[in-house]
Amino acid sequence: MNKNASSAAAKEISCRVTHTLLLYVRKNNRGTLGNLLDGMPLDEGYLSDTNNWVSHAFLQTLYARMIEMLGDQKAVYHMTLASGQLQSLGILDRIVRLMGSPKLIYSQAPKYNNFLKLNGSVFIHDIGDSWVVLEDRYHDSCQKTRFDCDYTRGILAGIPTMFGLPPATVEEVKCQVAHERYGRRIWPDTPAQGCTGCFYRVSWLPGKTSFLKRIFAGWSTHRQAIEDLAYANQLIQAKYDEAKHLAADLERTNQELERQHSQLIESEKKHRLISENVSDTIWVIDLNTLKFEYISPSVEKNRGFTVEEALNLSMEQTLSPRSLAKVSTVLEAELAVENKPGVDPQRSKTIEIEHSLKGGGYTWAEATVSFIRDPNGVPKSIMGVTRDISERKKAEKAVAKSEIKYRNLFENGLDLICLHDLEGNLLETNIPFKKEYGWRREDLEGVNIRDLLSEGYKLEIDGYIDRILANGSDDGYLKMVTRPGRRVILEYRSRLIQDGNGQPEAIQCAARDVTRRLQYEKALKESEEKYKNIVQHAPAGIYEFNMETLTFISVNDVMCQYTGYSQHEFLDLDPFVLLSEDSKDTLTRLIEEVFARKPEELSAEYKICGKDQKERWVLSNSRFFYENGIPKRAMAVVHDLTGIRKAEEEKRALEVKLQNARKLESLGTLAGGVAHDLNNILSGIVSYPDLLLLDIGENSPLRKPILTIKRSGEKAAEIVQDLLTLARRNVSSKKRIDISHVVNDFITSPEYRKIVGNRPHLTVETDICEGILGVVGSEMHILKTVMNLVSNAADAMPSGGRITIATRDCYIDKPYAGFEIIPEGEYAILEVSDMGIGMPPSDLEKIFEPFYTKKVMGRSGTGLGMSVVWGTVKDHEGFFDITTEEGTGTTFVLYFPATRSEKEAPRSVYIDDYLGLGESILIIDDAPEQRDLTGRMMQRLGYEVHTADSGEAAVALVKKETYDLLILDMIMPPGMNGLETYKQVLTIVPDQKAIIASGYAETERVHEAQQLGAGSYIKKPYTLEKIGLAVRSELDRPSPIQRTGPSSHPHNS
Q: What is the per-residue pLDDT for 235?
A: 46
How far apart are the C-alpha atoms of 285 and 235, rounded to whole Å?
11
How far apart are the C-alpha atoms of 398 and 519, rounded to whole Å?
27
Q: What is the per-residue pLDDT for 181?
A: 32
Q: Which CATH class is domain 538-640?
A: alpha beta
How far apart are the C-alpha atoms of 959 and 514, rounded to whole Å?
66
Cα 145 from chain centroid (whole Å): 41
| Residue 62, burial from CB neighbour count under 10 angstroms (0-12, 13-18, 19+) | buried
pLDDT at 53 over 60: yes
pLDDT at 242 over 60: no
pLDDT at 248 over 60: no
pLDDT for 70-79, tens place per residue?
999 999 999 8
CATH of span 646-714: 1.10.287
pLDDT at 6 over 80: no
Give the confidence band of 996 by pLDDT, cuts at 50, 70, 90.
very high
Q: Do domains 646-714 and 911-1044 have the same CATH topology?
A: no
Length of the chain: 1053
How far apart are the C-alpha atoms of 154 and 901, rounded to whole Å?
62
* Helix (H), strand (E) at residue 45: helix 44-48
Least confident of 206-210, 575-579, 799-803: 206-210
Least confident of 377-391, 417-431, 451-465: 451-465
Asked if 380 and 373 touch (Cβ cutoff 8 Å), the reply is yes
Q: Which of these, 334, 366, 369, 368, lies nearest to 352 by C-alpha position? A: 366
Q: Can you list the alpha helix ranges (DSSP code H) found in 218-336?
A: 225-242, 248-260, 263-277, 298-303, 307-311, 315-318, 321-336
How many other CB atoms are there within 10 angstroms of residue 588's CB atom? 12
Give the confidence band of 191 by pLDDT, cuts at 50, 70, 90.
very low
pLDDT for 269-326, tens place per residue?
666 666 556 788 888 988 777 688 889 888 998 899 999 999 998 888 889 999 988 9
Across 578-603, average pLDDT: 85
pLDDT at 211 over 80: no
Q: Domain segments of the chain: what residues? A: 3-209, 213-388, 397-520, 538-640, 646-714, 731-897, 911-1044
Q: What is the per-residue pLDDT for 192?
A: 42
pLDDT at 856 over 70: no
Q: What is the per-residue pLDDT for 771?
A: 86
In percent, how much of the chain has pLDDT > 90? Answer: 19
pLDDT top residue among 396 and 814: 814
pLDDT at 913 over 80: yes
pLDDT top residue among 990 and 480: 990
pLDDT at 727 over 70: no
- Specify the CATH number for 3-209; select among 3.20.20.30, 3.90.1520.10, 3.40.50.300, 3.50.50.60: 3.90.1520.10
Q: Which of these, 265, 261, 333, 321, lies nearest to 95 by C-alpha position? A: 333
Q: Can you list the alpha helix ranges (DSSP code H) found in 859-927?
A: 865-875
Across 732-752, average pLDDT: 84
**Whole-number Cα distances in Å, 353 to 282, 417, 679:** 15, 29, 101
pLDDT at 987 over 80: yes
Domain 397-520 has CATH 3.30.450.20: yes
Amino acid at 539: P
Q: What is the per-residue pLDDT for 1048?
A: 37
pLDDT at 1051 over 50: no
From edge to edge, which strands make up the β-sheet containing 169-176? 120-127, 131-138, 197-203, 169-176
Amino acid at 488: V
How far apart are the C-alpha atoms of 252 and 258, rounded to whole Å?
10
Q: Mean pLDDT for the chain?
A: 79
Q: What is the per-residue pLDDT for 199?
A: 87
Q: What is the per-residue pLDDT for 228?
A: 41
Would you state the CATH architecture of domain 731-897? 2-Layer Sandwich (3.30)
pLDDT at 513 over 90: no
Phi, psi of 339, deg, nearest 5: -95, 5
Q: Which of these, 727, 519, 578, 555, lies nearest to 634 by C-alpha position? A: 555
Across 843-865, average pLDDT: 61
In percent, how much of the chain has pLDDT > 70? Answer: 74
Q: Spell out the long-range contacts of 358-366 with Cβ–Cβ below 8 A and sequence spacing 24 or more.
A: 358/303, 358/304, 358/305, 358/309, 358/525, 359/304, 359/525, 359/528, 359/529, 362/320, 362/323, 363/302, 363/303, 363/388, 363/390, 364/388, 364/389, 364/390, 364/393, 365/281, 365/302, 365/389, 365/390
Q: Which of these, 506, 512, 511, 510, lies nearest to 427 by C-alpha position? A: 506
Q: Which of these, 487, 488, 505, lies nearest to 496 by C-alpha position? A: 505
Give the confidence band of 496 by pLDDT, cuts at 50, 70, 90.
very high
* N-to-C CA span, the chain: 43
CATH of span 911-1044: 3.40.50.2300
Asked if 14 and 116 touch (Cβ cutoff 8 Å), the reply is yes
How far apart are the C-alpha atoms of 638 and 604, rounded to whole Å?
10
pLDDT at 663 over 80: no
How far apart are the C-alpha atoms of 972 and 358, rounded to whole Å?
48
pLDDT top residue among 939 and 99: 939
Q: Which CATH class is domain 213-388?
A: alpha beta
**Whole-number Cα distances in Å, 45 to 15, 22, 117:** 11, 11, 20
Give the confidence band of 665 by pLDDT, cuts at 50, 70, 90.
low
Q: pTM, whole model, 2 decimals? A: 0.30
Q: What is the per-residue pLDDT for 215?
A: 45
Give the confidence band of 522 by pLDDT, cuts at 50, 70, 90.
confident
Q: What is the per-residue pLDDT for 742?
A: 92
